Amino acid sequence: MLRVDPTQRTRLIEIIRSLTDRIVEAKLNGWLGEVEGLNVSLEAARTKLVSLERTSRSGGSITQLGIPVIRNE
């Protein structure tokens, strides 16, 4: 799973604002297909931001699962 670099948080917020502005413009121009595509992108960006904030709150720790042992039976 790809994760967003925490230093890119402000850029992600900028992308969300830009998408929101573009959705307003597309609605004003009656570009319904464009609105739908931008809404999909906006939802994905918001999901990434929530994921980034959740990871930041948890300290971004990685759970070590260890190395699997293969047994010859």
| The predicted structure's pLDDT at residue 68 | 85
| The predicted structure's pLDDT at residue 57 | 76
CB neighbour class for 45 (10 Å; exposed up to 12, middle 13-18, buried from 19): buried
pTM: 0.74
Does residue 27 contact residue 35 with C-beta atoms inside 8 Å?
yes
- pLDDT bin (cut points 50, 70, 90) of residue 1 is low
* Within a domain: 49: yes
Structurally, the chain folds into a number of domains equal to 1
* Within a domain: 61: no
* Within a domain: 25: yes
* Within a domain: 41: yes
* Within a domain: 19: yes
Q: Tell me the per-residue pLDDT of 11-56, one tens digit each, with 9 for 90 and over.
A: 999 999 999 999 999 999 999 999 999 999 999 999 999 988 887 7
Domain containing 47 equals 7-56
* Within a domain: 65: no
